[in-house]
Amino acid sequence: MDGRGSCENLKNYIVIASDHAGFSLKEHLKKVLVNLGYEVKDLGTYTSQSVDYPDYASMLAGGVSRGEYPRGILVCGTGIGMCMVANKFRGVRAALCWDEYTAKVSRTHNDSNVLCLGGRVLSFEEAEKILKIWLREKFEGGRHARRLEKLKAIERSMEKWVNG
C-alpha cells in the first residue's frame, strides 16, 4: 500500500459504498460477498434517499489510500462519478468496469484496488459476474509493473507541484 500501512492481514476484508443510485446493487453485492466468505464493511448509503456520491467515494478511497482497507467497491448510477473521486486519492487505482473483460484487465494490467460499478447500467447478474472476476484475478506484474511505476511517479510529481 505504498508504504502507508499494510493490509496483509485483511485479505478477506472488503469495504463497499454507494450513493442512492447504487444502493440496491450494493445491497445485492453485499450478500454475494458474504456468501463468498468475505467480511464486508458497508460505509453506506443505507437507504435509497438522494445523497452525494463524492461523500461516499471519499470515505472509501480515503481508507484505501491510508491502508485501512485492502480494496473496495463503489457503486453509483454509472460508476463514473465514484471513479472520478476515488482516483483523486493517493495510491488508489479505481477502475470503472462494465463487462468481464474490463474486470479482468483492470486487475491483471492495472492492479485496480477499487472496483466501480454502475447500478443503473448493469443487471445484478452482470455486476455479480464482474465482481467475481475482479476478486479472482491477480496483477501480472512485468511490463505492467513498469507502467504502474510511471503512474506512481506522476502521482508524486503532481503532489510536489501542488504542495511545493
Contact between 72 and ligand RB5 per CB under 6 A:
no
Q: Please select the residue that binds ligand RB5; options are 16, 19, 25, 30, rule is CB under 6 A.
A: 19
**Nearest distance, CB of residue 119 and ligand RB5, angstroms:** 7
**Nearest distance, CB of residue 109 and ligand RB5, angstroms:** 24
Q: Which of 65/78 has CB closer to ligand RB5?
A: 78
Contact between 21 and ligand RB5 per CB under 6 A:
yes
* Under 8 Å between Cβ of 139 and 107: yes
Q: Which of 58/108 has CB closer to ligand RB5?
A: 58
Torsion, Cα 40 3 131 13, to 10 degrees, reads: -20
Active site residues: 76, 109
Q: Which of residues 73-102 bind ligand RB5 (CB under 6 A)?
A: 76-78, 80-81
The 3-state secondary structure of the chain reads: CCCCCCCHHHCCEEEEEECHHHHHHHHHHHHHHHHCCCEEEECCCCCCCCCCHHHHHHHHHHHHHCCCCCCEEEEECCCHHHHHHHCCCCCCCEEECCCHHHHHHHHHCCCCCEEEEECCCCCHHHHHHHHHHHHHCCCCCCHHHHHHHHHHHHHHHHHHHHHC
Q: Which of 20/71 has CB closer to ligand RB5?
A: 20
Q: Could you tell me which stretch among 70-78, 96-104, 126-134, 149-157 binds ligand RB5 (CB under 6 A)?
A: 70-78
- Say how many residues touch ligand RB5, by CB under 6 A: 8
Q: Please select the residue that binds ligand RB5; options are 53, 56, 69, 134, rule is CB under 6 A.
A: 53
* Contacting positions for ligand RB5 (CB under 6 A): 19, 21, 53, 76-78, 80-81
